[in-house]
Chain A
């Protein structure tokens, strides 16, 4: 599947440029939509093939999923066009519809049901709607963009080209429609974009695979006893692996988008340099952090501060941080481990929030700024943040049975 994903994404710009030459009357959005839907079909078929054992059966299942996916998208487009600008519950319905689909697909055993109805065993964890996690956030944000007048309501072709935009479909970044519509750099930046695709592929296909040799799956889950020192090695390696895998994919996605003239938001900014968990989230999966800030944190904290009063604003902020990170946790996957992952990060950001308030109060503005610039403090902060993120990703990488088996193997 990762290989198919990379091939399909790298072929996407070739399709777009070829189609623009051969089909000059088809608008660019049409070319993007067609190419994206064809790519989605190939990826879904590839995901089904190991379960069905035959290409024809996999293609039939992929067709059914694609039709359902398109149907849901068209319903949302209708809601968006009719209700997004009307305010009240109608805007809310348009905003919530993609999220509701995401929740249903993620939390109900639809994949297993679908596969058993189709006559196949297994497949409970298959993505019936590939990339729905990212699409749900992109499309719900589109409702806000339309409501705020940032962008006009898109036509159906432009909407489909945005919703199913192949490079960012399965792993993000969560691009905005405003970015999507902003003209790219054209041919002048083509070399830079191509280089970025290449280097993204190197990170995703080579460096990540290499580092994965020392992560939980590569090092730990082999059924053998392990020394305690292997645990921090696996934790740190997993953090590096995840960065190379995710940022490598995003580099490919952003580079490919650039090659077809679409601007895409950045998703990473050297997360290993973060000096606390709050800063980490400003450097890691930036588009998710921005979405959560705009869609959950800001409105929720404004509402809560109004309810509890300005004197308790700091505590209200802390409560909102916890809510945001619990949502971030469950968005990443189904299982208690993801909730615990969100909790661990929420607690760290809340601790940082209170510690910052404490330092500001204790040191005063000038000394607080000097404290922040102290190189020793900086290195300790960066090191401890790296350690904390590495340790917390233990909850992200392993479900509860895997955690048990890891601890059982430690000597």
Chain B
């Protein structure tokens, strides 16, 4: 082989790389000032296996009319609630087709909940939003959602950076840098993805018929008279335990933004604790913080101690309700049974000024 060349790394080449680096770091500014398309079209390009984002975009930008209840969380909430069942129950209560959707998808990160809610509330009225927040024993880095570069964009929202530390501002900005090439490309050509083709049923149907950790699925019989999830109040606070750790500053920032958004639009917000397999014997509802207090009383909290949810079931039967830490179809059915009474009560109590108007014209694909 030939002798190695002398180091070809010249100062001019270093200057070139530094210039390129600076240009890349300024891409979010370029996107914000010169090449920013509307936010419509942003969610539809998210990978299909990450959640029904095309159907979500359709609901945000193309459908009209008010929404009665929106479930907006991570995969735990996504797998835990039987949306058609909730819709049927509320339809019976309201005497008109209830509009109930889930915008829950994979991975945690409250920035996702915030931007989806912000974009939705700017166009449609929502009666009640049910959220879940990261459980105390799930190790969670204080960083944005894994896919935040698809939706965090410079210039869209002045609230995004307000009150953040320099480190967290840099984190959010770096996410915007990563997303900039995609936004620039979106400006140059249109995507053939048509949200009108998205099946609205995608927002409700997650029929997860998997057994625990690869075991065959075993259908569990329906229990006749279950209890109900408990709403946090001075009377029921003995069923709740707030163990920490507190949310990191970045996630807390988005939790506060969500609470503010709900307050501004007069939407009832409820944080729902979703039990996981590892806490199946828990006798209390464990959350990181007392959310009603931590978020200035703008959100309610409800949950059920897992031991009470699975009361009377053997260890094997309990396992049949999960496919890993998440609920499967058995778990979803059981948990929804417990959730419905409290949810119906909450919905009935929702102040009339925040209730959606009845008889909305566009209910495409809904029963």
A residues contacting B by CB (< 8 A) are 141, 176, 178-179, 182, 185, 189, 192-193, 195-196, 199, 202-203, 206-207, 209-211, 213-214, 218-219, 221-227, 229-230, 233, 251, 258, 263-266, 269, 287, 290-291, 294, 411
Residues of A within 8 A of B17 (CB): 199, 202-203
CA distance A203 to B2 in the complex (A): 26
Identify B1's interface contact among A203, A233, A258, A294, CB under 8 A: A294
Find chain A residues with CB under 8 A from B47 CB: 221-224
Q: How far is the CB of A236 from chain B (nearest CB, A)?
A: 12
Chain B residues lying within 8 Å of A222, measured Cβ to Cβ, are 45-48
A141 to B1, CA, bound (A): 9
21 contacts between A and B (CB under 8 A): A179-B4, A192-B7, A192-B9, A196-B7, A209-B178, A210-B178, A211-B181, A213-B179, A222-B46, A222-B48, A224-B45, A224-B193, A225-B192, A227-B192, A229-B189, A233-B185, A265-B1, A265-B4, A266-B4, A287-B1, A411-B192
Other-chain residue from B7, B14, B24, B185 in contact with A207 (beta carbon distance below 8 A): B24
Minimum distance in angstroms from B52 CB to a CB of chain A: 11
Looking at the assembled complex, report how far the CB atom of B148 sits from the nearest CB atom of chain A, in whole angstroms. 13
Residues of A within 8 A of B45 (CB): 222, 224
The distance from the CB of B82 to the nearest CB of chain A, in whole angstroms, is 25
Interface of A is mostly: helix
Give complex CA distance A141, B5 in Å: 19
Q: Which of A225, A269, A411 contacts B8 (CB 8 A)?
A: A269
Is B14 touching A224 in the complex (CB atoms < 8 A)? no
B residues less than 8 Å from A264 (CB atoms)? 4
Query: A192-B9, A223-B48, A225-B192 known; 15 other A-B pairs, CB under 8 Å?
Result: A141-B1, A185-B7, A193-B7, A199-B17, A209-B178, A213-B178, A214-B185, A223-B47, A224-B44, A226-B192, A227-B189, A251-B9, A265-B2, A266-B8, A294-B1
Q: Which residues of B contact A192 (CB under 8 A)?
A: 7, 9
Chain B 166-199, CB-CB to A under 8 Å as 1, else 0, gives 0000000000011111100100011111000000
Asked whether any CB of chain A lies closer than 8 Å to the CB of B20, the reply is yes
- Measured between alpha carbons, how far is A269 from B24 in the docked complex, in Å? 23
Contact A176 B7, beta carbon cutoff 8 Å: no
From A206, A219, A233, A265, B24 is in contact (CB under 8 Å) with: A206
If the complex has contacts A210-B177, A213-B181, are A224 and B8 also in contact, measured as CB distance less than 8 A?
no
Q: Is B314 an interface residue (CB 8 A)?
A: no
Near A by CB (< 8 A), chain B positions 1-44 give 1-5, 7-9, 14, 17, 20-21, 24, 44
Partner of B4, one of A203, A226, A263: A263
CB neighbours (8 Å) of A195 from chain B are 9, 14
Q: In the complex, A141→B48 CA distance in Å? A: 48
Q: Indicate if B49 sits at the interface (CB-CB under 8 A).
A: yes
Q: Which residue of A lies closest to B10 (CB)?
A: A192
Chain B residues whose C-beta falls within 8 Å of the C-beta of A193 in the assembled complex = 7
Interface centre among B3, B179, B190 (most CB of A within 10 A): B3
| Cross-interface CB contact of A224 among B20, B149, B191, cutoff 8 Å | B191
Q: Using A214-B185, A411-B192 as known contacts, say yes or no to A176 and B1 having CB atoms under 8 A apart.
A: yes
Residue tally, chain B, CB below 8 Å to A = 33
**Interface-central residue, B9, B20, B46, by most chain A CB under 10 Å:** B9
- Chain B residues contacting A225 (CB-CB under 8 Å) are 192-193
Chain B's closest residue to A193 (CB) is B7
User: Would B49 and A207 count as touching, CB distance under 8 A?
Assistant: no
B137 to chain A, nearest CB (A): 17
Q: Which residue of B lies closest to A258 (CB)?
A: B7
User: A189 to B192, alpha carbons, bound, how many Å?
Assistant: 53
Q: CB distance A199 to B181 under 8 Å?
A: no
Residue of chain B at shortest CB distance from A287: B1
Residues of chain B lying within 8 A (CB to CB) of residue A226: 191-192
Please, which residues of chain A bring their CB within 8 A of the CB of B192?
A: 225-227, 411
| Measured CA separation A294–B46 after assembly (Å) | 48
**With A206-B24, A224-B191, A266-B4 as contacts: A196 and B9 at CB distance below 8 Å:** yes
CA distance in complex: A90, B28 (Å): 62
For residue B214, give the distance in angstroms from its CB to the closest CB of chain A: 9
Tell me whether B1 and A291 are in contact (CB under 8 A).
yes
Query: B7 and A189: CB pair below 8 A?
Result: yes
A210 to B31, CA, bound (A): 15
A202 to B177, CA, bound (A): 14
Cβ < 8 Å to A, chain B residues 327-356 = none
A189 CB contacts on chain B under 8 angstroms: 7
Roughly how many angstroms separate A229 CA and B1 CA in the complex, as a whole number? 42
Q: Is there contact, CB below 8 Å, between B181 and A214?
A: yes
Chain A residues within an 8 Å CB radius of B177 = 210
Chain A min CB distance to B141 (Å): 13
Tell me the smallest distance from the CB of B22 to a CB of chain A, in Å.
Answer: 11
**Bound CA–CA A213/B182 (angstroms):** 7
Q: Do B1 and A210 have beta carbons less than 8 Å apart?
A: no
- Expressed in whole angstroms, the minimum distance between the Cβ of A237 and any Cβ of chain B is 8
Cα–Cα, bound, A34→B229 (Å): 60
